[in-house]
Chain A
C-alpha cells in the first residue's frame, strides 16, 4: 500500500469528528454577550459626551458669571468643490449596507444600537455616516465610521429626520419632534455642540419632517407642517430669515443640487401617490420629473454627488421600494439598488484629493497624548503610578496614514502618565493584541501605595489579562511582568514568560477579579487573586454555582511575579461575592471607551 494512502487511512481512523449539537445555541449566546458588551461600550461613550457637555457648560457659566450658554460662533460657509459618485449606502431596517453601484465591495455595517436602521447620510469626507435608528419607543441619531466603528450618539427623540452634513464635516442638521415640539438642530458630529435653530409647537402632524444644509452650508432647507399640509421653507443657517418656497400643502423632503441652484422634492398628489419634482432654489420654475401611476410613492429624492443624476425610492402604496436613478431632468429612470430600502445615500468623492484635499481620514489626526504620534480607540484607567500623584494609563491604537484603523487592526501600545500632567511619560508596545486590547484596571498588587496596570486582550468569548509594572523612579517605565524563576511548571509558565490569565465563561468583567487583602491569603507581600474562566452551572439560574479557577500573583520588587497558587473553586452565584464586597483591592476601573 502506498505510504500516502496508508497515512490517509490511519489518520482518518484516528480522527474523532466533533459533535455540532448544541454548538449553534452556544455560539448565539456568546455572540449576544458580545453585542451587549458593544452596546454598553457605545452607551458609556454617550454618557461621557453628555457628562462632558454638562460639565463644560456649567464651567463656562461660572467663568462668565451667568447662567446662559456663551455665544457660539456662527458656522462658516464653505465653497463646495466638484464631487464624484462613490459607493452607495442604504438601510433595510435590519442592516446598513455599503456597496459600489455595480454591487461590488458589498459589506454590511453593524448598527450602533438595536432597532430599525432608517435614514443614512454620508459625510463630505466619505468616511463617516450619520444613521438614524428607529427603536422602540425612541429614535436616535448616530455618527459612525464607514466600517461601523466609533459610534457617537448625537440625538435622541420621539422622532428624528434624515440628517444632513454641513460641508465642514463637523456639523449636521436634522429635525426632532418630542412632546409636541418640533425643532431643527445644528449639532457637532461629536455631539458636544448642539444648537436649536428652529423650534415651534407641533400638534398632530405639524412637525418639521426634514432639514438639509445648502451645499455651502449657509442655509437650511426644510419642510414643515402647515394648516394646509406640508410645505417647503428655507432659512439662514442660524435660524433667521425664514422664507416659504411652496404653498401647495403637499410638498416635502426637499434636497439641494450640489451647485445649490436646484431643489428636488416630493409632491404628494393622492393618498399614497407621490412623485418627484424639481424647482429653482428660490421656489420658481417647478418641473415634474416622475409621473408614475397611483400605486407608486416616489420619495426621498436626492441629487447624486456629481449633480448629473437624481436618486429616489420607488415605493409602492406607501411602503418600501428599490432605489431608482434618473437624469437630473427626469430622463432614463433605471434601477440602482434592487432591494427595498428605508434610507439611501451616495458617497461623495473628491475627484483629485491631491489637488483639493478633502478633510478625509488622511487628515484625521487622532488624539495627541504625548507619544509623538496621534492615537485613536483610546481606553484608559486612572491610577496612582507615582507616590501621591493621580495619573492615567492608556491603551491606544496608532493612527495610520489612512486614519484610525478598524477596531482590532493597527498597532496598539500602552502609555502611562505618571506625573499627572495629562500626557504620557512612558510607553510600551506594540502589544500582543488578538484582536484588541483595552485598559482593564489599576490595582495596587503589591500593596506599596502605587498601582500596577491590568490590560485585557479581548478574544471574543474570553479575555486574557496581562499585568504591567509601572515605575516612576529613577525614570518612568511600564513593562509587562514576567514569571520569576523557577516558573510555574503546572501551568506551562516558564521563567521569563508573560503570564496571561484568562477570564471568560460567564465571568467577564472586573467583578471576576478578587483581592484577598483582608482575608487569609497565602504567604507573600503582594496578593491578587485573579478568577478565571468562571462558568455558571447551570447557566442563568438562581441556583447556579460559579465553577472558577483562581491564580495568586505575588509581585516581586524586580518586576517579576511568583505564581503562589493556582486552583479551582466553587461558590453560589447568588451569594454576595467577595468581589462585590471588596473589588480588587479598590482598583480603579477604566474610563468609558474613547476616554
Chain B
C-alpha cells in the first residue's frame, strides 16, 4: 500500500481524528498529538516516495506517532508554536466528571500501560495489533493490559466485585 495524496486525504477523513485523540490521551497534549500524527504521515509519504510499501498505513502511522509523542522537549516546542499561532496562551478547558477521572487515572499509569490501554480500548485494536504497534509480543501486551486494568479499576473506584464479575465473564 502506498501513501500518496489520495491516501493522505482518505486517512485524514477516516483515521486522523481518532488517532490524534488516542495519542493525546497517551501524551496528555493535544498539540503534541497533532504534531506527532502529522509528522508520522509526512514520514510515511516520504518513505512511499522512496519506494516503500506499507502493509497497513494506520498501523505504521500509529506506531511512529506514538514514538514521536515520547519526546518531552519536542512537546514543549510544539505547544509553544501552538500558542504562538493563537497569540494567546492555550488554556485547556477543565475536564469534568468522568473525563477528569479517566484522564487522571490514565496519567497515573506507566507510559507503556497507557499506550496499551488507549490502543486497546479507544482505538479498539486486537491485542495482536497492539503488540504490532508497540513492537512487543502479544504476551507482553496481555500482561501489560492486565496490570493496567487493575490499576485503573483501583483509580476509578471500581469495586472488587465488579472486577471479579468481569474476570468471571472472561
Contact = CB atoms under 8 A, between A and B. Distances in A.
Interface string A438-471: 0000000000000000000001111010000000
A32 B23 CA distance: 26
Contacts of B41: 27
B56 interface: no
Contacts of A6: 156, 158, 162
Interface string A1-31: 1111011101111111111100110111011
A412 interface: no
Interface stretch (B95-103, B125-133, B134-142): B95-103
Contacts of B33: 18
Contacts of B20: 17-18
Given A14-B102, A17-B20, A17-B21, A2 B165 contact: yes
B98 A31 contact: no
B51 A108 contact: yes
Nearest to B43: A460
A102 to B, nearest CB: 15
A11 B99 CA distance: 8
Contacts of B122: 8, 11-12, 15
A108 B49 contact: yes
B21 A15 contact: yes
B170 to A, nearest CB: 8
A500 B73 contact: yes
Contact of A19 (B17, B46, B95): B17
B156 to A, nearest CB: 7
Contacts of B16: 18, 20, 23
Contact of B34 (A15, A18, A461): A18
A18 B117 contact: no
B-side interface mostly: helix
B81 interface: yes
Given A147-B50, A460-B46, A15 B18 contact: yes
B9 interface: yes
Contacts of A16: 21, 24, 30
A389 B95 CA distance: 61
B166 A2 contact: yes
Given A3-B162, A31-B45, A492-B73, A15 B39 contact: no
Interface in A330-379: none
A385 interface: no
A34 B48 CA distance: 14
B17 A17 contact: yes
A30 B42 contact: yes
B80 A13 contact: no
A20 B81 contact: no
Interface in B41-85: 41-43, 45-46, 48-53, 72-74, 76-77, 80-81, 84-85
A568 B12 contact: no
B51 A98 contact: yes
A7 B99 contact: no
Nearest to A95: B49
Contact of A549 (B24, B37, B43, B77): B77
A504 B35 CA distance: 12
A136 to B, nearest CB: 22
Contacts of B38: 23, 26-27, 30, 461
A8 B124 CA distance: 8
B18 A505 contact: no
A537 B85 contact: yes
A131 B116 CA distance: 47
A11 B117 contact: yes
B48 A537 contact: no
A110 interface: yes
A500 B84 CA distance: 21
Contacts of A492: 72-73, 76
Contacts of B52: 107
Given A17-B20, A18-B19, A4 B166 contact: yes
A353 to B, nearest CB: 23
Interface in A473-515: 491-493, 500, 502, 504-505
A2 B121 CA distance: 13
B102 A532 contact: no
Interface string B152-169: 110010100011011001
B98 A10 contact: yes
A24 B3 CA distance: 13
A535 B80 CA distance: 11
A460 B121 contact: no
Nearest to B11: A20
Given A109-B51, A461-B42, 17 more contacts: A2-B162, A8-B121, A11-B25, A13-B99, A14-B102, A15-B18, A15-B25, A16-B21, A16-B30, A19-B17, A147-B51, A461-B38, A500-B73, A502-B73, A535-B85, A537-B84, A549-B80
Interface of B: 2, 5, 8-9, 12-13, 16-22, 24-25, 30, 33-34, 37-39, 41-43, 45-46, 48-53, 72-74, 76-77, 80-81, 84-85, 95, 98-99, 101-103, 106, 117-118, 121-122, 124, 149, 152-153, 156, 158, 162-163, 165-166, 169
Q: Which 4 A-B pairs have the closest CB atoms?
A: A18-B20, A107-B51, A17-B17, A15-B21
